[in-house]
Structure 1
């Protein structure tokens, strides 16, 4: 290491220190000098995407598996193309750093009428647009302070699980700083401790409520996985034996093979036996709740008890009392340390709901055309422990709710932000993370990345397949061909032209993108064909990129999607 390094290299060294080994983005003249320094950092690759929106979605998917991601775009035209992806990351608690190559400081001071501007000689138009979708936004103005700014942004993103924005002027990439700054300014990635008095008071209240509970439940939602408390949740369940339910966004946040797992609660959309158990409870322990419409059956939660405890990333709640700045990770650790010394009155007496085992009906393969009722349950037997399952907003994200996951399956779906087209690049990004783990540790277990996406959504972001082929990334891409936007047709306008799409020859996609990489095109039209495909040993090995076209009836849809569509139409019309 030389005595001095460039600020550009410092940035990418710190990105690597934070655990990132693949960087997503698109080159542009204001970030080119910065990108010169990626190759100086061993173990980092520049992915190079077809467009900025896909780069943002891939960074999102990468972060959901890896824990952090980096996106690099250019000023104005580049960063605005990525805004939708960054906004989705903000809404769904995904940590990433969006690095924007900006015009030089001198150009800004002279108010030059540069390309990529709005022609108003202002250089803060776009940072103002990103302010609302970034937990913190900084533009480097003095290179002496730059290392601290870079560290602060990375730390903030990782600890809050939200995107941050770094404006990097083009003339600062070559600025020299002491190489010793790399060790002098180490990243601090541990959460600060909670206020001890507040944490103890909250935990004592929770324990007292638990001691009295006769019919308690634990409800696990998205932020349990986003903020890395899955292990704590399983330990609380083990110590209390309370029945555990997840939400749609919480799927994969609790081991579905666990004896304490009882199913999925979605308000009015829940299975009747699940609905009865949850809504008759006298104590709810809610962990990581995100109460959006698609996550709650359009706000149809209907439990009567006021004995509700909420654990969140930056506050906790006991009944009506808020404990501000009390982080759930510390509170759960405290609770676990005391539960072993507590005598609970609750005695497990519930039999697991029948709906928990509905997937077993897929053991018998019905004859005839492929139908979703069979397909999603059959997927339960195709999945392996540790797989990453990505589903698209719409048919796929509702269908996967009836699939039972093996242990440690990672579920990725954009239930809250719900931007169609997200899932394909997110799956590619997730596969980059899996690939990076494998390169760093040859004994890392084999993990498949499996995507289910509709034919309509595919058309928004199909270039992400090119990104995968460029680096020989090998996801399974299941395309649900149901002739357009089925979820929209179910909500409103079933026969309107605006819900239709131009049909594509899906078996030609890999022929177009896959130059010099091994690939496979498949088509499934019947339940028997799906069953045989999933039984095929060669197909189960992720040794090539695959596109599998699933031929479905235009209006065939999961029952939960039909019910949600009815509720959404009523809300939209109110």
Structure 2
């Protein structure tokens, strides 16, 4: 069957579950966009800029499993780099498609617009080498091999890929000989590693599992919980990857964040003689500046392409195979461990005093429903939210490794479009909001209904806690935030709310509950120096780390 290369590419993406394509039009992708909007199985979601498109695609992929976005050559391509790098760091599979000048223009070395005016066209593709797991320059001759190759790479590695698609290639008809099929996973024998692990566990008196974001990326929640339920080994999760383990499990201890962890959890993990690190990275922000007290060389690393135990290393083995191997172990733990204590409901007073961060998050805990998606911006919101107790079916999204402020607003556009039936709660600060605020416009146009909580504390509080508490570079221009939905054309579609006290906040939360069919924008005013306890401590750790 004859199809244009652009049509074939969209067929492949549709086959792996993509039903929304994010991006910004440009003259090097316009006719390719015609192939997108003409379909019944795909929807084009135009964004206000390419950075927002990349963040939205990342959010979509975290719920859907894979995402796609389209930019134009050069100016659009580079505007998406920050978001794609974040997807690479945190293992999120995004297909970044760049509509490029024709092959004839490139071969002639013409000084075409959006180029550097030097007559060569691979500069931007080279920039993507380090932030994508695979790259492809598509031609009519290689389309049916290269497109499946990079899509498979994205899915197997859970990382973004880059596709360079000259516009004349996108419009060229080819004879399609076979529809795209996901390649089969090639299983590796991990039995020798399992023998080593079971030997360590059998001699251990205090085993523990630390888990994190790779479980979320690879969707291995059931496999991990099965292993834990069989072996009775307790689990502590990192803030980088919150939601990796069922927080309602009797084997869950809580969040381990180094010196900031509750004493019982901290002592148990730090004194463990058998730490299995499953799908986690011990980063500075996840461990309060590497404040763990165990020897990192004694930890059994069970990550994707990273198995390490003592002197044995394997950088090829997959996390999927390692976890499958763990589920065949014959071992049961009999050591007692600290049990997770879920927070008490209504553990706060309602009054007309200024609302504090502490009360805000306690009230948010009561507000969360079983199926909610919670998206927490890197800053006061994330460091307050990662201690929230989740239900088994909640989804928690943050970006603590890449840590690009402004990420979560467009990411919420993506997560809500990925599953419109689930309620999305965005927790964000005013400084972050100002970076990507145009995403609200796209939300209104797409008629989605997230609940957006904006902490107005007059600036970059997360930076204040690291350095320059009162310096002007951590200040921002005050906006009239509640007018933003009107500015973006949503005066009649969006409910806006103003909160100064816990009494006002409670009334707003009740109103949100009674109007689930509306988008809500809630401005929550707090003191400029008020911050979650853990952000204060993390700020000090970062300041010390930075010298």
Give the TM-score category using the shorter length. Answer: over 0.9
Distance 1:55 1:410, change over 3 A: same
Query: How far apart in 1 are the matches of 2:508 and 2:244?
Result: 28
Alignment correspondent of 1:571: 545
Where does 1:70-219 land on structure 2 (aligned, <5 Å)? 70-140=68-138, 142-179=139-176, 181=177, 184-194=178-188, 196=189, 199-219=190-210
Alignment correspondent of 2:409: 424
Q: 2:529 aligns with which of 543, 550, 555?
A: 555
CA drift of 1:34 comes to 0.8
Cα deviation per residue 1:63-119 (whole Å; 9 max; x = unaligned)? 111110001000011101111111111111110111000100000111111111111
Cα deviation per residue 1:179-211 (whole Å; 9 max; x = unaligned)? 4x3xx14222442211x2xx0101121122222
Query: How far apart in 2 are the matches of 1:406 and 1:547?
Result: 24
Contact kept, 8 Å, 2:255 with 2:387, in 1: the verdict is: no
Cα deviation per residue 1:7-56 (whole Å; 9 max; x = unaligned)? 11111111111111110000000111111101333220000111111001
Alignment correspondent of 2:223: 232
CA drift of 1:388 comes to 1.0
Cα deviation per residue 1:95-148 (whole Å; 9 max; x = unaligned)? 0111000100000111111111111111111111112111111112x3021121
Distance 1:290 1:540, change over 3 A: farther
Distance 1:203 1:152, change over 3 A: same
Distance 1:306 1:168, change over 3 A: closer
Secondary structure (helix, strand or coil) at the match of 1:363 reads coil
CA drift of 1:60 comes to 0.6
CA drift of 1:434 comes to 0.8
Contact kept, 8 Å, 1:424 with 1:461, in 2: the verdict is: yes
Contact kept, 8 Å, 2:265 with 2:338, in 1: the verdict is: no
Alignment correspondent of 2:444: 469
Query: How far apart in 2 are the matches of 1:527 and 1:400?
Result: 18
Alignment correspondent of 1:360: 344
Q: Tell me which moved more, 526-535 or 552-561.
A: 526-535
Distance 1:170 1:343, change over 3 A: closer
Cα deviation per residue 1:514-557 (whole Å; 9 max; x = unaligned)? 44862100112112222343345x53653111101111111110
Secondary structure (helix, strand or coil) at the match of 2:128 reads helix
Superposition TM-score, scaled by structure 1 size = 0.92
Query: How far apart in 1 are the matches of 2:173 and 2:545?
Result: 57
Q: Which runs of 5+ in 2 are unaligned?
A: none
Cα deviation per residue 1:191-243 (whole Å; 9 max; x = unaligned)? 2211x2xx010112112222222211111111111122111111111111111
Distance 1:299 1:343, change over 3 A: closer
Alignment correspondent of 2:364: 379
Alignment correspondent of 1:543: 517
Q: Which runs of 5+ in 1 are unaligned?
A: 436-445
Secondary structure (helix, strand or coil) at the match of 1:375 reads helix
Contact kept, 8 Å, 1:98 with 1:165, in 2: the verdict is: yes
Secondary structure (helix, strand or coil) at the match of 2:334 reads coil
Alignment correspondent of 2:336: 349
RMSD: 1.7
Query: How far apart in 2 are the matches of 1:306 and 1:378?
Result: 41
Secondary structure (helix, strand or coil) at the match of 1:217 reads strand
Where does 1:13-32 land on structure 2 (aligned, <5 Å)? 13-32=11-30
Q: 1:248 aligns with which of 231, 239, 244?
A: 239
Secondary structure (helix, strand or coil) at the match of 1:263 reads strand
Alignment correspondent of 1:452: 427
Contact kept, 8 Å, 2:205 with 2:335, in 1: the verdict is: no
Secondary structure (helix, strand or coil) at the match of 2:80 reads helix
Q: 2:503 aligns with which of 528, 532, 548?
A: 528
Query: How far apart in 1 are the matches of 2:407 and 2:287?
Result: 21
Q: Tell me which moved more, 201-210 or 510-519.
A: 510-519
Contact kept, 8 Å, 2:376 with 2:397, in 1: the verdict is: yes
Query: How far apart in 2 are the matches of 1:117 and 1:306?
Result: 48
Query: How far apart in 2 are the matches of 1:281 and 1:108?
Result: 59
Contact kept, 8 Å, 1:377 with 1:402, in 2: the verdict is: no
Contact kept, 8 Å, 1:30 with 1:74, in 2: the verdict is: yes
Contact kept, 8 Å, 1:362 with 1:374, in 2: the verdict is: no
Q: Tell me which moved more, 414-423 or 304-313.
A: 304-313
CA drift of 1:304 comes to 4.7
